[in-house]
Amino acid sequence: MNRYTALGCLGLGLMVSPMLSGMATGAVPANTKIAVIDIERTLYETPAGKRANEAFDKLRKGKQAELDTRQKGLQKSAGDLSKQQAVLKPEMFQAKKAELEKQLVELQKTYQQLEQTLAEERTKLVSDLLKKAGPIVTEIAKAEGVSLIVDQSAVVWADPAVDLTAALNAKMK
């Protein structure tokens, strides 16, 4: 870069920097107050959260019972096949073994689908709770003079004095 280009860039930088610094300080309030809430605690401690958790647990237990029944049936069939191995023809044994392996793969796919379904239901549960809590969080933020509220799960550390979870939980029904 030649000397004149460098001087031109330096001059342009000196002209623009006061404008940029004015924009930066104007965008953020001078006394920003930040607080945290623990949505997981709200989920487990409030009546609305407990109802949602109970519905989720009922769904999870139903799906788990179905999966357990299928798994026990598969284990019983595998045990029966191993007992019959001595009396079955090798090709018949291999065919039944292949069928059991196919059923095991299907069971594993069902398990993965169950995990995905439960994760989606859990996300929906938290989302629904946040919808209910939204107006209350806004009310608390205004009352406390807070500019930003962050979920505790997204924070590495926070002073307990900035935790507004108790205030939220007290107002959640």
pLDDT per residue over 131-173, tens digit each?
999 999 999 999 999 999 999 999 999 999 999 999 999 999 8
Indicate if 142 and 63 belong to the same structural domain. Answer: yes
User: Do 119 and 154 share a domain, yes or no?
Assistant: yes
Confidence at residue 119, expressed as pLDDT on a 0 to 100 scale: 93
Percent of the chain with pLDDT over 90: 67
User: Are 8 and 51 members of one domain?
Assistant: no
Report the CATH number at residue 137.
3.30.910
Q: How far apart are CA 123 and CA 116, in angstroms?
A: 11
Burial (Cβ within 10 Å: 0-12, 13-18, ≥19) of residue 148: exposed
User: Does 111 lie in the same domain as 89?
Assistant: yes
Same domain, 119 and 152: yes
21/85 same-domain check:
no
Residues 23 and 38 in one domain: no
CB 44 within 8 A of CB 70: no
What contacts 158, CB < 8 A, 6 or more positions away? 36, 152
Query: pTM, whole model, 2 decimals?
Result: 0.67
Q: Are residues 39 and 22 in the same domain?
A: no
Quote the CA–CA distance of 86 and 80 in Å, as a whole number: 11
Scan for tokens 């000397």, then name that residue. Answer: 3
Mean pLDDT over residues 18-28, rounded?
Answer: 52
Question: What pLDDT is stored for residue 171 in this prediction?
Answer: 93
Residues 46 and 112 in one domain: yes
Rounded to 5 degrees, φ, ψ at 51 are -60, -45
Q: What pLDDT, on a 0 to 100 scale, did the predictor assign at position 22?
A: 53
Range of the domain at 78: 31-171
CA dist., res. 71 & res. 65, Å (int)? 10
* Tally of domains in the chain: 2
- Is residue 23 pLDDT above 70, yes or no? no
